[in-house]
Chains A and B, each alone.
Chain A
Amino acid sequence: MLRYANPANFLWLANRLIPWLGASSAALAALGLYGAFFVAPADYQQGETVRIMFIHVPAAWLSTFIYGVMTLSALGTLVWRHPLADVAQKAAAPLGAAFTLICLVTGSLWGKPMWGTWWVWDARLTSVLVLFLIYLGLVALWQTIEDPARAARAAAILTLVGVVNLPVIKFSVDWWNTLHQPASVFRMGGPTIDKSMLWPLLVMAIAATLLFLTLHLMAIRNEILRRRLRRLSIIAAADETAGHAFSPGAAQ
């Protein structure tokens, strides 16, 4: 693990993993979509609208999973001072925001025909909206603070404060009387979904997770290159200043 704390080693590994992860994600997404549209039957209550679940649920899973990854990265920054932890955290935040946005929009597009409304301020929907705002806040924080080390510490603290929202999202449907239905996959006693719907859903969730891992590695690679560029620009500027200082005309 520590071997890949060196960015050069990490880049070597990422360049080899990215094509395989991307191809696996695409293949599983094709299989999952086939199952979602040609194997899974229409739901007896929701009808064909249940097809939206095959993208909504994986997006919802990723929105919390990515925050979990960011929480571990925040601990890596503050506690273990792993040199790639803050890079991983910074790279994950926009991806988390994008998948949470997909979750909110697809949920809304499912809610309108099923509930008769685009939005309700129930505990599950509101806590996911708060998660989306936290993601945006973290992205803004990284953009606002110029010094990467200071930005990393501030973002790590905000991430750890925001983690309290994760159990609220998960258990909101049990703690409060919500319009959003209770858990039907990750629950005590096993899933309540028929197998013909469950396997395409799980395949889509795995495909989405692999997509995130692919994009995350690509974004981490970009951040390493960005910091290398920053460092080289500073060295070049210092060299230029030193060159001027020792040039014949500099003493005048």
Chain B
Amino acid sequence: MNGSHIEFIVAAYAVTMLTVIAMIVAICHDHFVLKKALARFPARDVGEEGA
């Protein structure tokens, strides 16, 4: 890839990878925090006809 602007290609793929990883980590972290918080409550019906 001589003279092919490889730094721009690497930067584009790096930004994409980092953003996708950040989204996955944020959602998984949120999930574990919520599960941990919910575990403090005894199981009961909370009337979830809707969310």
Contacts and interface: CB of A to CB of B under 8 A. Distances in A.
Interface string B3-34: 11110110111011001101110011011001
Contacts of B35: 225
Interface string B26-47: 0110110011011001001011
Contact of B12 (A42, A110, A215): A110
Contacts of B44: 232, 235
A153 interface: no
A179 to B, nearest CB: 17
A59 B13 CA distance: 12
Contacts of A55: 12-13, 16
B34 A235 contact: no
Contact of A222 (B16, B20, B23, B30): B30
Contacts of B4: 42, 47-49
B33 to A, nearest CB: 9
A33 to B, nearest CB: 9
Contacts of A98: 19, 22-23
B51 A222 contact: no
Given A95-B23, A215-B27, A83 B8 contact: no
A19 interface: no
Contact of A48 (B6, B11, B19): B6
Interface in A4-19: 5-8
A228 B50 CA distance: 10
Contacts of A51: 9
B9 A49 contact: yes
Interface stretch (A100-108, A121-129, A155-163): A100-108
A215 B27 CA distance: 8
Nearest to A56: B12
A180 to B, nearest CB: 16
Nearest to A10: B51
Given A47-B5, A215-B23, 11 more contacts: A48-B5, A52-B9, A59-B16, A95-B23, A98-B22, A102-B16, A105-B15, A106-B15, A106-B16, A218-B27, A224-B51
Interface of A: 5-8, 42, 47-49, 51-52, 55-56, 59, 83-84, 86-87, 94-95, 98, 101-102, 105-106, 109-110, 112-113, 211, 215, 218-219, 221-229, 231-232, 235-236
